[in-house]
Structure 1
Amino acid sequence: MGRLMGPDQQNHTDETDRVQLGKLLRSARQGAEMTQLEARNLIGKSQSTMAKIEAGTTSISRQSLQKLIAVYEPPADAIPTMWALWEKTSSPARLRQGKRIGTPVWFGEVLDKEQLAEELWSWTGERIHGLIQCESYMIDQFDGEGRGPEISPRLLQRQKRQRLFDQEGKSFVFLFSEAALDRLCAQTEHPHVVTDQLKHMAELAERDNITIRVVPYRAVAYVDSDFIILRETDGDSAYSEYLTNVHWANARELATYREAWDALLSIAASPEDTLEDLRRRCKLADRGDPDGG
Structure 2
Amino acid sequence: MAARNAPSARRQRLGMELRGLREQAGLTATEGARLLGISQAQLSNIEASRFGVSAERLRVMAVNYRCHDSAYVGGLLDLARDQRKGWWETFREVLPTPLLDIAELECRATALRSANTAHIPGLLQTTDHARELFRQVVPKFSRSAIEHRVNFRLQRQSILDHPVSMTYHAVIHEAALRVPVGGSATARNQLVHLLEQGERDHVTIRVIPFSIGAYPGSGQTILYVHGSTPRLDTVSLDQSHGPVLVESEKGLNAYRLLLDRMAAVALEPAESHAFIEEIARQL
- In the superposition, the TM-score normalised over structure 2's length comes to 0.59
Which runs of 4 or more aligned residues in structure 1 lie more than 6 Å from their structure 2 counterparts after TM superposition? none
Residues of 2 paired with 1:173 and 1:151: CA distance? 27
Query: Could you tell me which residue of structure 2 aligns to residue 163 of structure 1?
Result: 158
Residues of 1 paired with 2:238 and 2:282: CA distance? 33
**1:232 CA displacement:** 2.5
Residues of 2 paired with 1:146 and 1:240: CA distance? 22
1:234-255: CA deviations, max 9, x gaps?
3322221212231323111111
Query: Could you tell me which residue of structure 2 aligns to residue 204 of structure 1?
Result: 197
1:127-164: CA deviations, max 9, x gaps?
11111001111122223469545422111111111101
Query: Could you tell me which residue of structure 2 aligns to residue 194 of structure 1?
Result: 187
Residues of 1 paired with 2:141 and 2:258: CA distance? 38
Residues of 2 paired with 1:147 and 1:214: CA distance? 34
Secondary structure at the counterpart of residue 179 of structure 2: helix
What is the aligned residue count? 183
Residues of 2 paired with 1:102 and 1:137: CA distance? 21
Where does the alignment leave 5 or more consecutive residues of structure 2 unmatched? 1-92
Q: Out of 214, 217, 220, which is 1:221 matched to?
A: 214
Contact 1:239 1:249 in 2 (8 A): no
Contact 2:207 2:267 in 1 (8 A): yes
**1:229 CA displacement:** 1.2
Closer, same or farther: CA 213–102 of 1 in aligned 2, 3 Å: farther
Query: Is it true that 1:172 corresponds to 2:168 in the alignment?
Result: yes
Query: Is it true that 1:120 corresponds to 2:112 in the alignment?
Result: yes
**Counterpart residue identity of residue 236, structure 2:** Y
Residues of 2 paired with 1:216 and 1:179: CA distance? 8
Contact 2:246 2:252 in 1 (8 A): no
**1:102 CA displacement:** 4.5
Residues of 2 paired with 1:241 and 1:150: CA distance? 19
**1:114 CA displacement:** 0.5
Query: Could you tell me which residue of structure 2 aligns to residue 232 of structure 1?
Result: 227
Moved more, 243-252 or 125-134: 243-252
Contact 2:222 2:236 in 1 (8 A): yes
What is the Cα-based RMSD across aligned positions, in Å?
2.2
Closer, same or farther: CA 265–148 of 1 in aligned 2, 3 Å: same
**Counterpart residue identity of residue 175, structure 1:** V
Closer, same or farther: CA 154–244 of 1 in aligned 2, 3 Å: same
**1:206 CA displacement:** 0.7
Contact 1:241 1:247 in 2 (8 A): no
Q: Give matches, 1:10-25, under 5 Å.
A: none
Query: Could you tell me which residue of structure 2 aligns to residue 261 of structure 1?
Result: 259
Query: Is it true that 1:154 corresponds to 2:122 in the alignment?
Result: no
**1:200 CA displacement:** 0.6
Q: Which has the larger radius of gyration?
A: 1
Where does the alignment leave 5 or more consecutive residues of structure 1 unmatched? 1-100, 286-293
**Counterpart residue identity of residue 140, structure 1:** E
1:38-73: CA deviations, max 9, x gaps?
xxxxxxxxxxxxxxxxxxxxxxxxxxxxxxxxxxxx
**Counterpart residue identity of residue 199, structure 2:** E
Secondary structure at the counterpart of residue 208 of structure 1: coil
